Structure 1
Amino acid sequence: MSPKEVPPLKIDGLELAQFGSGPGLHGLTGDYSPTSRFVPATVLSRAAIPGKTAADAVQQGFHVLNNFDIPVGAVRDKLGKQILYDTTWYTVAADTKNKQYYFHTHDNRRIRVIDLTKMNLDAKDRVFIPMNSKEDVQDLTPPGK
């Protein structure tokens, strides 16, 4: 087992390559291959208790999806001499009824929302919404020393 990608295998001139990133840890419970992530994601999403409100449902959705994050370095591949690292760059959830799009990024786990009802969807110009910001850490240490 290794975080490195499994190299392609040639059999009778036919090159067989993996179907997705992450099978270097195949056999380890919770490896990062697509099947090992998305099959449990489907099962968990169906088993999770539905939220009573849209906010509850979004929160529950992120709890399910957080089980399948890929940490930097857990899946590696090589392109020439360069080592490539797979990771989960962002996680998203959509509230289609209220037209809200929720996300968090690799560097900031705070859930943020884009409310499409507050945007001019007929605008001709593109809108740039900055997503990359560092997460702040809230210090809750009580005073007393």
Structure 2
Amino acid sequence: MTATDKPSVLFVCVHNAGRSQMAAGFLSALSAGAVEVRSAGSAPAAQVNPVAVAAMAEVGVDIAAEQPKVLTSDAVQASDVVVTMGCGDACPYFPGVRYEDWVLDDPAGQGIEAVRPIRDEIRGRVVGLLDSLGVPVVAS
């Protein structure tokens, strides 16, 4: 990564429908475009979890237009940081890529009351990730 390149982060979970979509939404919003954001799943769902969409809308982050995407080796190789959220061994490993594993409850099948604390924990972790990348958090 050169000084003129913006850092890139890939969030990976199994279905790319909840945790990884919420994390990508927060990273996009809180970095104001200073970070290239990707998300993917090892077995993508048909759509983003509507409860995750509703939970994010409560805090002013719109992920309604997002679609789950399949995880590719190219996406991993093109990322400076890969954050996994329960994708297990399905996540390809490449030397030189920084990996973090975030252990979070899966919002699948949960009601909004159960998803809010997951959302809030993801936001806190995204703020920490931005700090580690030297990217200031914009007000949100």
Normalized against structure 2, the TM-score is what? Answer: 0.24
Q: Normalized per residue, which structure has more strand?
A: 1
TM-score by length of 1: 0.24
More helix by share: 2
Q: Which has the higher contact order (CA 8 A, sep 6+)?
A: 2
